[in-house]
Amino acid sequence: MSNLSHIDEAGRARMVDVSGKETTLRTAIARGQVRCEPATVEKALAGTAPKGAVIQTAELAGIMAAKRTAELIPLCHPLSLTHLDVRIETDDALPGFRVEAEVRTRAETGVEMEALTAVSVACLTLFDMLKAIDRSMIIGEIQITAKTGGKSGSWAR
């Protein structure tokens, strides 16, 4: 098991030591979606959903969640985030919502988990705030679409 980064020679979980890694500007962009009925999108946009300002609340929830990623994901390093943006747009082709998060920091480790957490919680918040009018919603396609920085450099889907 010693070749696993988060497991020591005795099989115990451990946080990876990043103290020897170079501090670089790191970014990650994640995306996801919530499929729903067209009438659900209309109510969210009109502000007539039972729980109020759906999109704004979900964007804020994503931001708040990203800042707490290390508390949610075991062995994830706590990071000081220098930029965090969560955007939710409607998409008639789904129909539903497209969620995107962009996260930036200067650190020894990347921010992919923070971006994924932001998108996941924003999608969950959309579901929670709209479930009273549409129980058929589907959350999906949550993924990293780009990252920069660190030893491995840049990558894009």
Edge-to-edge, what's the strand order for the sheet holding 24-35? 83-91, 96-107, 24-35, 138-148, 155-156
Of 8, 17, 91, 128, which residue is the catalytic one? 128
92 is annotated as an active-site residue = no
Contacts of 32 (CB under 8 A, 6+ apart): 98, 99, 119, 120, 122, 123, 139, 140, 141, 142, 143
Q: Which residues are known catalytic residues?
A: 128
